[in-house]
Amino acid sequence: MTRTPKPADRLRKIIQSFPRITVTVLGDMVADEFVFGEISRVSREAPVLILRHRERTVVPGGGANAVNNLAELGVNVLPVGIVGNDEPGRLLLRSFRHKHIPVTGIFKHKSLATVTKTRILAGMPHTWRQQVVRIDREPDAEPDRHMARELALATREYLRASDALLVSDYGYGAATPQILNAARERRRTPRPSSPSKPGGIYDSIPTVLDSRHRMLEFSGITAATPNEAEVEEALATKIGQDWSRLCSAGSDIITRMNLNSLLITRGRDGMVAFSGKHKPVDIPIFGGDQVSDVTGAGDTVIATFTAALAAGANTEEAAHLANYAGGIVVMKRGTATVSQQELLEALEKSPPQTRAH
């Protein structure tokens, strides 16, 4: 009699296979800067706190955070994007080189600044650091036609050796629908039609999208990982705690984008995975709902979800692993990552859970 593998055994094998896969990331590279100061006194000039500077760190954010998370999971990652010829850009490239991540697909732009999000944190010695304000430095214009072409060519070249493509679109111009279409022109191969996908031409590898404000403008996408607010914005609707409305919204997104998979993240309410004509799978948040910091959690989720799909996972399996990763990373301060070992330990600690409806 053949023993049916337990779900946890299957997930463990998927995690262990991560070092054998390669993922290309086309994304907006962001530098996340954290400046910490101890509260010194109240200013005489205005009713504001004076902070004594103690520490400054710059870590990969946005699409660069997705790259960083893939690398921590043991995946071979090939990033494509833009940085400015400035200190934040140099620090991003240095952090990638430190992890042996290739940087030939990341272009230095002389006239565009590296997107930098500076978070000012305040606190007393031995207390939690609280974010006081965030300052975003963004380029004044999108990449020109020449740079867009370079991004498309680099992506196309990397795809020859990749098992999946992750698209991280924060709206800064390095991961537009036009660049993606240009990159995939010669990658497209026909595959047999099926009841859910009648005819058409599709890529032979998963293409997973995270787009802040223009998800529905992309075509040829295999899977998407929006949060609930992004779904509400895309469909001009309000979901709230209405399960039937959530299911209807998910079905609408899948139909409009012709997706194989959809993962909607819902913060403390966990995630819901949609796959073809299968019933939606409601997954409660891993590790409890008392989160420490949600900064960059969406990047961790899409990185893990993409890695799992590239390793041969189905939608539900990939969603469970993304849920473990998301639950781990929100318990960390600042922009953080999840390692392959942490995922394995989480799986040992708690088997995958679902909620019935």
Catalytic residue annotation:
299
Round to whole Å and give the CA distance between 100 and 79.
Answer: 12
Rounded to whole angstroms, how far apart are CA atoms 350 and 60? 30
- What residues does 104 pair with on adjacent strands? none
Report yes or no: 274 and 128 within 8 Å, Cβ to Cβ: no
Q: Tell me the residue ranges of DSSP E strands in 285-352.
A: none
3-state secondary structure of 195: coil
Q: What is the CA radius of gyration of the chain?
A: 21
Provide the CA 342 distance to its chain's centre, in angstroms.
Answer: 18
DSSP 217-228: G--S-SEE--BH
Angstrom distance (rounded) from CA 340 to CA 350? 16
Start-to-end Cα distance in the chain: 33
Nearest to 41 by CA among 98, 137, 124: 124
